[in-house]
Amino acid sequence: MSWNQIPCVSGVEPLDGHFQEFRTDLLGLLRRAAMEGGQRPIRLSVGSIPFLILNNPAAVEQILTDPARIFFKPKMDLWRRVLGDSVLTSSGEQWLRARKRTLPFLGPLYVERHARIVSEMTDDRVRSWLSGDTIDVLHEMRFITLSSSLRSLFGIDPDLDVPAFSAALTEVMEYIHVRATSTPGAETDEALERRFLAALSELRESVARIVGIDPGGTDDPVSILLASPDFQSGRLSVTQVCDDVLAHLIASSESTATALAWSFFLIAQSPAVENRLREEIVHTVGNRRPDIPDLSRMLYLHGVFGEALRLYPPTWGILRASERAFELDGVRLPKGTCTLACQYTIHRDGLWFERPGEFIPERWLDGALARIPRFAFFPFGGGRRLCPGRRMGKVTAYTVVSRVLQQFRVDAVAGCLGKAAVHATLHPVSGTSVQVTQLRTSHVS
């Protein structure tokens, strides 16, 4: 079969192809692609670029593990303006060096320390919640995850306006998403561009100021980078340290905050799940703060978070482009082909998951992961680019859920039904509120 013989998703507009739907209802387009293509690759019409949607775990594995080393992350120019040549944006030897520099951020000692920090920051934040309050759970989770990451990186709480920094981060990510989904050659919205530049300046200046002060001790990750032989010799610049810090903040806070918001949305709509989850937490740790061994024993908690990641993966799709022609599923594809490995639709495929649209944490307790293909569930990506901070992200989520449910009941709010839409991550669009009610026995320690 040749490229032109690959089926194309229906709904192609004569002048615009799929671009209009790509911008306005991407999830609907992806669901239709999954339904029409099944396990075979299917084309999108997005101009002259060969563009394939992948819903087959075997095809996804070929692209992400990339044994021939022919695939790269396209459309990274804007991200490089934000993050330089960090681990999220670089490739080849630069990526290997950047990845090595991230090790001080992610080692076991720092994951354990980070869990303690997350507990403290969660407790600090929820003190402002009053029983019966309706809270914006995405906003609250962003505050907790970003504050925790900042303290972990620098050893203390840096002098930073966290809500303003978070808002600037959101502005930058949304701008990049809008540009990435725009028709090639489309005029740039000048007001949007100005907001992006202002937000980018705020992010980079804030990080540079904190790194320049270096308020931490001797064993926090930023101090380790600044004391490294590479930094002392000039092979690692202050700008590169800032790139690494900002990349870590984006990777460790936004995706985890979004996953936590979805987790609480789903818990709030499932009282039986919440009750069982709280019973596990109380049985394991009572009212004290959980440590890493405690978290490892809470298997139902793992199932709840895993199910949230299955239904609403913050990274909803992974884009790769080919440096040369290649063969996929018996089809010879040209150089420059873009492939989108779609977590959102693969995670909801009835071939791999019974009752795929339902929130069933119990499915993860009976070995579901061992019975499905390797890339039928891949919320953290895969291959060489497998998210290096996945363990820290899980520990953060487990800790926040535990501390919140030790102190509060969460309930759904009318009108907040958890409908999703594609932004830089997969966000709720019908409101991000839940109601919290303080438990009478919530004397935590």
Q: What domain range includes position 74?
A: 3-438
Residue with tokens 């989770």: 141
> Is 154 a member of any domain?
yes
> Is 193 a member of any domain?
yes
Residues 340, 53 contacting (CB under 8 angstroms) = yes
With 60 as the cut, is the pLDDT of residue 216 above it? no
pLDDT value at position 155? Answer: 80
- Residue range 369-382: average pLDDT? 93
Q: What is the pLDDT of residues 44-98, one digit of tens each?
A: 998 888 999 999 999 999 999 998 899 999 888 889 999 998 989 988 888 888 8
pLDDT value at position 186? Answer: 66
What pTM was computed for the model?
0.94
Structural domain total, the chain: 1
> Is 304 a member of any domain?
yes
SS (HEC) of the chain: CCHHHCCECCCCECCCECHHHHHHCHHHHHHHHHHHHCCCCEEECCCCCCEEEECCHHHHHHHHHCCCCCEECCCCHHHHHHHCCCCCCCCHHHHHHHHHHCHHHHCHHHHHHHHHHHHHHHHHHHCCCCCCCEEEHHHHHHHHHHHHHHHHHHCCCCCCCHHHHHHHHHHHHHHHHHHHCCCCCCCCCHHHHHHHHHHHHHHHHHHHHHHHHCCCCCCCHHHHHHHCHHHHHCCCCHHHHHHHHHHHHHHHHHHHHHHHHHHHHHHHCCHHHHHHHHHHHHHHHCCCCCCHHHHHHCHHHHHHHHHHHHHCCCCCCEEEEECCCEEECCEEECCCCEEEECHHHHCCCCCCCCCCCCCCHHHHHCCHHHHCCCCCCCCCCCHHHCCCCHHHHHHHHHHHHHHHHHHEEEEECCCCCCCEEECCCEEECCCCEEEEEECCCCCCC
pLDDT value at position 4? Answer: 77
**Which residues pair with residue 422 across a beta bridge?**
426
Structure tokens at 86: 């960090």
Measured CA to CA, the distance from residue 381 to residue 359 in angstroms comes to 22
Instruction: Identify which of 239, 268, 272 has the alpha carbon closest to the alpha carbon of residue 135.
Output: 268
Distances in whole angstroms, Cα of residue 33 to Cα of each of 11, 131, 319 = 10, 45, 16
pLDDT band at 218 (very low <50, low <70, confident <90, very high): low
In terms of C-beta density within 10 A (0-12 exposed, 13-18 middle, 19 or more buried), how is residue 244 classed? buried
Measured CA to CA, the distance from residue 161 to residue 99 in angstroms comes to 28
> Is 181 a member of any domain?
yes
pLDDT band at 350 (very low <50, low <70, confident <90, very high): very high
**Mean per-residue pLDDT of the chain:** 90
> Is 418 a member of any domain?
yes
Measured CA to CA, the distance from residue 22 to residue 16 in angstroms comes to 10
Single-letter code of the amino acid located at 78: L
pLDDT band at 113 (very low <50, low <70, confident <90, very high): very high
Structure tokens at 218: 């001797």
Q: What is the pLDDT of residues 189-198, one digit of tens each?
A: 788 899 999 9
Measured CA to CA, the distance from residue 295 to residue 398 in angstroms comes to 7
pLDDT band at 292 (very low <50, low <70, confident <90, very high): very high
pLDDT value at position 441? Answer: 65
**Burial call 135-162: b when 16+ CB within 10 Å, e when fewer:** bebbbbbbbbbbbbbbbbbbbeebebeb
Measured CA to CA, the distance from residue 361 to residue 286 in angstroms comes to 22
pLDDT band at 102 (very low <50, low <70, confident <90, very high): confident
Percent pLDDT > 70 in the chain is 96
Chain centroid, CA 188 distance in Å:
27
Measured CA to CA, the distance from residue 223 to residue 221 in angstroms comes to 6
pLDDT value at position 232? Answer: 85
CB 220: neighbour CB atoms within 10 A? Answer: 22
pLDDT value at position 185? Answer: 62
With 60 as the cut, is the pLDDT of residue 436 above it? yes
> Is 444 a member of any domain?
no
CATH number of the domain encompassing residue 289? 1.10.630.10
- Residue range 2-22: average pLDDT? 86
Best-predicted range by mean pLDDT (92-106, 188-202, 333-347): 333-347
Chain centroid, CA 163 distance in Å:
19
- Residue range 295-311: average pLDDT? 97
> Is 30 a member of any domain?
yes
With 90 as the cut, is the pLDDT of residue 178 above it? no
Q: Looking at the chain, how many residues does it have?
A: 445
> Is 177 a member of any domain?
yes
Measured CA to CA, the distance from residue 382 to residue 375 in angstroms comes to 8
With 90 as the cut, is the pLDDT of residue 298 above it? yes
- The more confident residue out of 397 and 250 is 397
pLDDT value at position 217? Answer: 57
- The more confident residue out of 72 and 109 is 72
With 90 as the cut, is the pLDDT of residue 101 above it? no
Indicate the angle between helix axes 299-311 and 390-407, nearest 10 degrees: 110
